[in-house]
Amino acid sequence: MTTRDELWSDLLRRALAGDGPCYARFLHEATPVIRKIARARCTVEAEVEDIVQEVLLAVHAKRHTWRSDQPVSPWLYAIARYKAADAARRRRVAVPIEDVVETLEDEAAGDVTAARDLARLLDGIDPRAAGIVRAVGVEGESAGEVGARLGMSEGAVRVAYHRAMTKLRRMAEAEDD
């Protein structure tokens, strides 16, 4: 006695060799199983037949990808699972951004708490070092640009920035303790 998978494999092998009636029989016998998978994975009964049709179309389009030395059922079931998942993704409700824009956080504003903490820490160091940290670390200016504006060499700006950052780190650690 042959199993369903052996029968399906034989039918699909013959179909791939050009036997049309075997292909029709394969599709006819596989359809109830595909429908059962679609029904198990789909919560909307009205979409089950659409999923079945999509699976049958995918089987037809991808039949050449089945390896004839492998069982056909896992290949067929995978296609059915993926098509059911595709249908579920299509059912997701899209909410217009205008309806929720007031509830979204303004990423451009950054973290308000962090900005407040940084401002407080920068007030604790000398104004020139604080200006260098703001220019290089916050605003993204290069050390060369800051140096030209302040009459310092690029290297001196980097050293001042590093020293200021070290001091800020120590101040923040002292607050945490």
Q: Which residue has the higher pLDDT, 104 or 74?
A: 74
Q: Does domain 4-91 have CATH number 1.10.1740.10?
A: yes
**pLDDT (mean) for 138-151:** 91
Q: pLDDT averaged over the chain?
A: 87
Domain 107-176 top-level CATH class: mainly alpha
For the ranges 95-99, 148-152, 170-174, which has the lowest average pLDDT? 95-99
Higher pLDDT, 131 or 43: 131
Which of 28-37, 114-123, 141-150 has the lowest average pLDDT?
114-123
Output the pLDDT for position 2: 61
**pLDDT for 110:** 57
The pair of structure tokens assigned to 102 is 């007031």
Give me the residue spans of the domains in the chain.
Answer: 4-91, 107-176
- pTM for the whole thing? 0.51
pLDDT tens sequence across 56-65: 999 999 999 9
| Residue 107 confidence (pLDDT) | 62
Report the pLDDT value the prediction gives residue 42, as an integer from 0 to 100: 84
Give how far the C-alpha of residue 114 lies from the chain's centroid of Cα atoms, to the nearest Å. Answer: 28
Encode pLDDT of 79-134 as tens digits.
999 998 888 888 777 777 777 777 766 665 556 677 788 888 889 899 999 999 99
Give pLDDT, residue 151: 93
Angle at 176 between CA 170 and CA 177, to 5 degrees: 90
pLDDT given at position 1: 38
